[in-house]
């Protein structure tokens, strides 16, 4: 069932029917699966090439608004392939097990079997939920990820993390289920609301801070072009972020080492999301808040030069605004950190910046320093 990836040799004939000289292709190679992440404007119209021959019924899991904006293009891209659409109401607060069960029941009613395939067509919530549905339906069927928000394009659709939230915390139920392919069409961002787009940019800032000073520099130098969604700049942001994610996941699929760096901003961010019942902040905004807190913490621990810390804090501010955090108690967020799934035997692990392009995982941090960093981020 593995999708075939290829390395393009200049001048050689197209190695596969879905080859297109305009696309950027990145390989994710994990023990579970090797697959391509393709970034290409217009790839929606060629999705059928990524459904392996012999697949049964295709189930497209999506939301009403994504389908309204882009459904026709996906349907054309699937032309000739029998497919069913399953709608999910959307919203982080609905990323719950009960909805996965309802989708699975509906699949059975509509004739799904072990040869069926799921297409996750939407933002990060759809990518996580539909991926999890595929992971557990009849003990696992394949999924193709087609992300339609910037956040999902640079993060959620790649790397096989799937799951749902509990009241007690974010993504506390889930599974690693690598997709057959992740297909990224930057054209779909044209209809993405400004707030959602900015939320995705926080994940791009994250990629720059953890592993790519040039990406961070691009974000700071080209802010106007980024916010205007100029195609050449947007494509570079996505491609560089995808390159980083593919490289990190290929090194450490199960997050036992390097992959932890992708959680920069997430430990504090998840606490903020859970504390506000997943209703006040978009995930990317919470990551923006979390990067602020982590940077304040790194600064207070003397782990980062003032100039770099200021650079990160300014970048987060300039791609804001993040919704106000009034009424949220720093102590409650600090208490929530312990429930994060990155917490191991009660010890919270923080991903802290050391410079632009480098982070370190740190544990055993003094509670007072953590509380002070949260207060600074909330201010």
Task: Tell me the residue nearest to ligand GLY as measured from the CB.
Answer: 262
Closest CB 218 distance from ligand GLY, rounded Å: 21
Burial 328-358 (b: 16+ CB within 10 A, else e): bebeebbebbebbbbbeeeebbbbbbebbbe
The structure tokens 């200049």 sit at: 10
| Residue tagged active-site, from 33, 46, 177, 245 | 245
105 is catalytic: no
Q: 236 near 186, Cβ under 8 Å?
A: no
Closest CB 303 distance from ligand GLY, rounded Å: 21
Q: Which is nearer to ligand GLY, 234 or 262 (CB)?
A: 262
Q: Which is nearer to ligand GLY, 245 or 336 (CB)?
A: 245
The structure tokens 């980062």 sit at: 304
**258-277 footprint of ligand GLY as x/- string (CB under 6 A):** -x--x---------------
The structure tokens 């720093």 sit at: 330
Q: Which is nearer to ligand GLY, 58 or 244 (CB)?
A: 244
Helix (H) or strand (E) holding 336: helix 330-337
206 lies in the binding site for ligand GLY (CB under 6 A): no
| Residue tagged active-site, from 161, 170, 177, 342 | 161
196 is catalytic: no
Q: 159 near 241, Cβ under 8 Å?
A: no
How many CA atoms lie within 13 Å of 58's alpha carbon, on the beta-carbon side? 25
Which DSSP symbol is given to 123? S
Partner residues linked to 360 by β-bridges? 352
- The rounded Cα 101 to chain-centroid distance in angstroms is 23
- Chain positions 230 to 259 lying near ligand GLY, rule: CB under 6 A, are 259
Q: 242 near 292, Cβ under 8 Å?
A: no
CA-nearest of 289, 154, 307 to 226 is: 154
Choice from 77, 123, 142, 159 touching ligand GLY (CB under 6 A): 159
Torsion over CA: 79, 80, 81, 84 (sign): positive
Closest CB 254 distance from ligand GLY, rounded Å: 10
Q: Which is nearer to ligand GLY, 122 or 159 (CB)?
A: 159
* Residue 367 burial (10 A CB sphere; 0-12, 13-18, 19+): exposed
Question: What whole-number distance in Å separates Cα of residue 180 and Cα of residue 1?
Answer: 7
Helix (H) or strand (E) holding 62: strand 58-62
Q: Which is nearer to ligand GLY, 262 or 325 (CB)?
A: 262
| Residue tagged active-site, from 270, 296, 299, 342 | 270
- Chain positions 332 to 371 lying near ligand GLY, rule: CB under 6 A, are none
Choice from 40, 92, 155, 308 touching ligand GLY (CB under 6 A): 155
Q: Which is nearer to ligand GLY, 12 or 251 (CB)?
A: 251
161 lies in the binding site for ligand GLY (CB under 6 A): yes
Terminal Cα distance for the chain, rounded: 50
Closest CB 75 distance from ligand GLY, rounded Å: 29
Q: How many residues lie near ligand GLY (CB under 6 A)?
A: 5
Q: Which is nearer to ligand GLY, 155 or 196 (CB)?
A: 155
**275-314 footprint of ligand GLY as x/- string (CB under 6 A):** ----------------------------------------
The residues binding ligand GLY (CB under 6 A) are 155, 159, 161, 259, 262
* Active site (catalytic) residues: 139, 161, 203, 245, 255, 259, 263, 266, 270, 283
């Amino acid at each position: 069932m593995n999708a075939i990836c290829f390395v393009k040799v200049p001048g050689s004939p197209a190695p596969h029917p879905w080859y297109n000289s305009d696309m950027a292709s990145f390989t994710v190679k994990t023990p579970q699966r090797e697959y391509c992440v393709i970034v290409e404007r217009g790839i929606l119209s060629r999705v059928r090439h990524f459904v392996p021959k012999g697949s049964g019924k295709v189930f497209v899991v999506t939301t009403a608004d994504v389908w309204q904006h882009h459904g026709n293009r996906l349907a054309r891209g699937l032309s000739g392939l029998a497919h069913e659409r399953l709608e999910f109401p959307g919203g982080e607060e609905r990323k719950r097990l009960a909805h996965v069960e309802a989708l699975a029941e509906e699949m059975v009613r509509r004739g799904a079997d072990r040869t069926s395939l799921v297409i996750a067509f939407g933002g990060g919530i759809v990518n996580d939920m539909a991926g999890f549905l595929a992971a557990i339906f009849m003990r696992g069927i394949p999924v193709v990820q087609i992300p339609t928000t910037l956040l999902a394009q640079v993060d959620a659709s790649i790397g096989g993390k799937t799951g749902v939230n509990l009241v007690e915390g974010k993504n506390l139920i889930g599974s690693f289920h690598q997709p057959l392919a992740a297909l990224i069409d930057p054209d779909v961002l044209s209809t993405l609301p400004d707030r959602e787009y900015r939320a995705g940019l926080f994940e791009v800032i994250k990629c720059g801070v953890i592993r790519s000073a040039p990406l961070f520099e691009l974000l700071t130098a080209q802010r106007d072009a980024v916010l205007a969604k100029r195609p050449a700049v947007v494509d570079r942001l996505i491609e560089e972020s995808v390159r980083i994610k593919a490289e990190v996941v290929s090194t450490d699929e199960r997050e036992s080492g390097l992959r932890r760096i992708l959680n920069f901003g997430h430990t504090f961010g998840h606490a903020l999301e859970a504390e506000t019942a997943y209703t006040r902040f978009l995930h990317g905004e919470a990551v923006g808040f979390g990067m602020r807190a982590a940077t304040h913490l790194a600064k207070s621990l003397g782990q980062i030069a003032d100039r770099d810390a200021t650079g990160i804090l300014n970048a987060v501010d300039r791609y804001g605004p993040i919704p106000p955090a009034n009424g949220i108690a720093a102590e409650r967020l600090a208490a929530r950190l312990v429930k994060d799934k990155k917490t191991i035997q009660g010890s919270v692990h923080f991903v802290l910046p050391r410079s632009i392009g480098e982070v370190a995982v740190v544990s055993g941090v003094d509670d007072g320093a953590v509380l002070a960093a949260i207060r600074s981020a909330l201010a």
